[in-house]
Amino acid sequence: MSIVSDVITTHLPGKRKTTPSGWTSFNAPCCHHNGDSADKRGRGGLISEGDTVSYHCFNCGYKASWQPGRPVSYKLRKLLQWLGCSDDAITKLTFDVMRINEGVEVAERKVELPTFETVPLPPDAVKIADIKDFNKFSIAVLEYMAVRNLNLDDTDYYWSPSLAYRDRLIIPFYYEKRIVGWTARTIAADKKPKYLMEVQPGFVYGLDEQGYNKVFAIVCEGQVDALHVDGCALGGSEINDAQALLINRLNKDVIVVPDRDKAGSKLVEQAIELGWQVSLPNWDMDINDIGDAVQRYGRLYTLYSIANAAESSTLKIRLRAKKWFT
């Protein structure tokens, strides 16, 4: 029996029975999550064949499965949640399976929830919405925001008259309503560095905005892209264990939208390993990221195109990626 089967079996309800054909039947936990009435007739079925395990609900039709060499899929993670498995246990199982698939010996390893200290913003930083007397530098920042389709009600944008920051747009990083970091992006095309940043290990931008009313969480690379679609940003093209834990704890469909470059293709593979969905929308080939898409198509269509292109099948994602990244 596999570690996946072990975890599922441990969380099955006590009231269950096994049929002669090998199915274990119990009240399906998925039905009321999928628009049907709660199952009271034992219509949920689980069967193991070797190390392969499959779940099928004969009431609402929900299916989830796992076999050696595959990641723990989004559907299987949802099933485990509905069975009462903790987020930490699901995350541990996901990473354990990843290591087994990679041929790495699974060591006892606990991914700890990261903590973030409150930090100050750059010197003399003020909310742009509170500025009463604009000068040429603050006006230039506003003009940059207009060009990039950034609205004052997206977040608390800041600006500083300090020499090092007066030609930069400052975006604070919030976690549990506290400022735990920031990025200051230059508005000048030829100025380096492009970003000045204060960021703590494991941080994911936009977590505070992923409320209970949201069905899915869009995960991208950059903070400005995340603002456009009210999503989350990794701050790069790699997902570390702490970030994966924070995102999985949202208990939402996770849709990863990579930048259209070599690093983005690697992010796709990480998303597949984590069992997350990937969206590679049918955008024009010169559109490299969400920001480009918003400038050409607008926010509403960009969001629609992301949701419409979301895919969970590993095969379909990889086939689409071959075309998308060329």
Please tell me the predicted confidence (pLDDT) of residue 49.
87
Please tell me the predicted confidence (pLDDT) of residue 106.
44
Which tokens sit at 130?
A: 């509170």
State how beta strands 277-279 and 310-311 pair. Answer: antiparallel
Give, for 4, the enclosing helix (H) or strand (E). helix 3-10
> Which residues of the chain does CATH 3.40.1360.10 include?
207-324
Please tell me the predicted confidence (pLDDT) of residue 107.
47
- Tell me which residue of 99, 72, 94 sits closest to 314, measured CA to CA: 72
State how beta strands 253-256 and 216-220 pair. Answer: parallel
Q: Write the pLDDT tens digit of every residue in 180-234.
A: 999 999 999 888 899 999 999 999 999 999 988 888 999 999 999 999 999 999 9
Place of tokens 């950059």: 222
> Hey, which bits of the chain come out as E strands?
16-18, 24-26, 44-49, 52-57, 63-66, 126-127, 158-159, 168-175, 178-186, 195-198, 216-220, 232-233, 253-256, 277-279, 310-311
Average pLDDT of adjacent 10-residue blocks, the chain of 326 residues: 87 88 91 87 90 90 87 87 89 84 57 89 96 94 94 94 95 96 93 92 95 91 95 94 89 93 93 91 96 95 96 91 92
Please tell me the predicted confidence (pLDDT) of residue 275.
85
207-324: CATH number = 3.40.1360.10
318 φ/ψ sector (left φ>0, alpha ψ -120 to 50, else beta): alpha
285 exposed, middle or buried (CB, 10 Å; 0-12, 13-18, 19+)?
exposed
Please tell me the predicted confidence (pLDDT) of residue 111.
66
CA separation for the pair 5, 75 (Å, rounded): 15
Please tell me the predicted confidence (pLDDT) of residue 110.
60
CA separation for the pair 95, 108 (Å, rounded): 11
Q: Write the pLDDT tens digit of every residue in 235-259.
A: 999 999 899 989 988 888 899 999 9
Give this prediction's pTM: 0.74
